[in-house]
């Protein structure tokens, strides 16, 4: 395709492609309740989405007894398995990905999910074939460390100046900035537009249709 600015578009998963913010927040709150810990409000719980689950709990409960973190991780995963049964891709996300593939873009995922969790979600939603590479938090450093993007750059042989990161949190956009990768934010996920604006993305989409339109016209 002529005049492409980018060869590789990397998507965050939760809150960017999959409408899972509410399920994640519910699961975090339920795990805290199960251990009789102070329950984070929904805004605070949503703010840590995008981090690895261990890093998320450390951000919510800094200085907590080290022995409790593995219990919180296990409880979160238990509740998320229940809460995630009804979540789906955002409407239009699959068609957007398929159109980008048809136009010759390489696509990848960089996520705070586990490998097992991402594989399950991709298989259930039927979009595994859209992606040329993926990175999860149990294979790399948690966002906002740049390693996921740098590893995808190396794996797919695409220089960082030909990559674009799309995500719904400041963690995604800061990871992109740390890697020297351009970014686009989406405000329909976990973080509000004012939080995303701090990281100077090229664009902030308010919906999947507006994201699709911008990518096809500008990426």
- Which domains does the chain possess? 8-20+88-218 (3.40.50.1000), 21-86 (1.10.150)
Query: Is the pLDDT higher at 150 or at 77?
Result: 150
Structure tokens at 79: 């509740």
What's the pLDDT at 50? 82
pLDDT of 196 > 70? The answer is yes
Q: Which tens digit of pLDDT belongs to each residue from 67-90?
A: 899 999 899 989 988 888 778 999
Summarize the chain as % helix, strand, coil (round to 5). Answer: 50, 15, 35
User: Which of the four pLDDT bands, split at 50, 70 and 90, describes residue 152?
Assistant: very high
Which of the residues are catalytic? 12, 14
């Amino acid at each position: 395709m002529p005049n492409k600015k980018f060869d590789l578009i990397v998507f965050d998963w939760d809150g960017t492609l999959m409408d899972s913010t509410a399920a994640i927040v519910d699961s975090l709150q339920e795990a805290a309740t199960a251990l009789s810990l102070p329950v984070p409000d929904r805004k605070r719980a949503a703010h840590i989405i995008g981090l690895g689950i261990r890093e998320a709990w450390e951000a919510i409960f800094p200085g907590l007894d080290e022995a409790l973190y593995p219990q919180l991780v296990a409880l979160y995963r238990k509740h998320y398995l229940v809460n995630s049964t009804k979540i789906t891709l955002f409407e239009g996300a699959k068609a957007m990905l398929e159109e980008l593939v048809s136009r010759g873009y390489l696509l990848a995922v960089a996520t705070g999910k586990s490998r097992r969790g991402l594989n399950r979600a991709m298989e259930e939603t039927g979009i595994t074939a859209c992606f040329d590479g993926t990175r999860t938090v149990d294979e790399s450093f948690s966002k906002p460390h740049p390693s996921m993007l740098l590893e995808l750059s190396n794996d797919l042989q695409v220089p960082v100046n030909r990559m674009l990161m799309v995500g719904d949190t400041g963690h995604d956009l800061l990871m992109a900035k740390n890697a020297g990768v351009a970014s686009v934010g989406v405000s329909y996920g976990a973080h509000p537009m004012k939080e995303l604006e701090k990281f100077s993305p090229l664009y902030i989409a308010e919906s999947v249709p507006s994201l699709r339109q911008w990518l096809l016209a500008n990426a």
